[in-house]
């Protein structure tokens, strides 16, 4: 999976999950208090439909960090394993594609959240965890990397000859590659449309949140 697949599908999946969880909590709260459903919860901007779901997530999470996290394993491992240490490693999935790395980031995020109430590292770990899922790291040929160093200190080597050409070929001919990119691209376009339509693009770029405050 490439850039749009990872970034867009992660954003879409976590938006859906967050929207479902938030809706369920609100329904329960309204049922308990026997008050009419109210979208004017203090501090949460009023919005509807697709905007509402993106906004609920963007109010709590820095979505810029989530997007960076969704790409981080490839941003680090590909240059390291395919360019700088190509001879010795020969793989685009090394340290940052391991469960060990993601767990350490998540633990660091929990610690930071507990000590300072800052959530950025936790959000980053959610993005990197989503990356491992979308890469299908549980597959037999990738399991050794996912569980590194359980099966040994060396990472499996990959065939990198004509790697760039193969990516372009797969993008044009392989549905397993181009369909996720199309889905992710559509989510990114919808997200940008929500930002522009609500006049929140600049605020999002500056702060990572979707609210105007």
Applying CB under 5 A, which residues contact Zn ion? 73-74, 135
Residue closer to Zn ion, measured from CB, 50 or 134: 134
Quick one: 62 or 77, whose CB is closer to Zn ion?
A: 77
Q: How far is the CB of 71 from Zn ion (least distance, A)?
A: 8
DSSP letter (8 states) at residue 118: -
CA distances in angstroms from 127 to 9, 68, 113, 172, listed in the order given: 11, 7, 16, 27
Instruction: Rank residues 96 and 204 by Cβ distance to Zn ion and give the closer one.
Output: 96
Contact between 156 and 123 under an 8 Å Cβ cutoff? The reply is no
| Nearest distance, CB of residue 96 and Zn ion, angstroms | 8
Residue 31 or residue 104: which is nearer to Zn ion going by CB?
Answer: 104
**What's the min distance (Å) between Cβ of 48 and Zn ion?**
36
The alpha carbon of residue 96 and the mean position of all alpha carbons in its chain are separated, in whole angstroms, by 14
Question: Whole-number minimum distance, CB 39 to Zn ion, in Å?
Answer: 38
CA distances from 82 to 41, 116, 160, 206 (A): 49, 37, 7, 33
Which residue, 90 or 211, has its beta carbon nearer to Zn ion?
90
DSSP conformation class of 132: H
The CB-of-82 to Zn ion minimum distance in angstroms stands at 11
Give the contacts of 175 (CB within 8 A, at least 6 positions apart). Answer: none
SS3 percent helix, strand, coil of the chain, rounded to 5, is 70, 0, 30
């Amino acid at each position: 999976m490439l850039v749009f697949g990872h970034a867009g599908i992660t954003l879409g999946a976590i938006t859906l999950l967050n929207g479902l969880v938030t809706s369920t909590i609100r329904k329960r709260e309204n049922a308990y208090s026997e008050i009419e459903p109210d979208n004017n919860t203090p501090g949460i901007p009023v919005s509807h439909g697709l905007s509402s779901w993106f906004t609920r997530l963007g109010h709590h999470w820095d979505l810029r960090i989530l997007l960076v996290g969704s790409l981080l394993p490839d941003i680090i491992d590909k240059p390291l394993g395919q360019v700088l240490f190509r001879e010795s490693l020969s793989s685009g999935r090394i340290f940052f594609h391991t469960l060990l790395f993601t767990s350490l980031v998540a633990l660091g995020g929990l610690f930071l959240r507990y000590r300072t109430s800052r959530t950025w590292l936790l959000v980053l770990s959610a993005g990197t965890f989503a990356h491992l899922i979308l890469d299908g790291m549980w597959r037999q040929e990738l399991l050794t990397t996912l569980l590194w160093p359980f099966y040994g200190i060396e990472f499996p080597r990959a065939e990198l000859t004509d790697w760039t050409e193969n990516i372009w070929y797969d993008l044009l001919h392989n549905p397993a590659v181009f369909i996720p990119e199309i889905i992710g691209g559509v989510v990114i376009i919808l997200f940008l449309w929500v930002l522009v339509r609500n006049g929140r693009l600049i605020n999002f770029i500056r702060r990572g949140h979707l609210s105007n405050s």
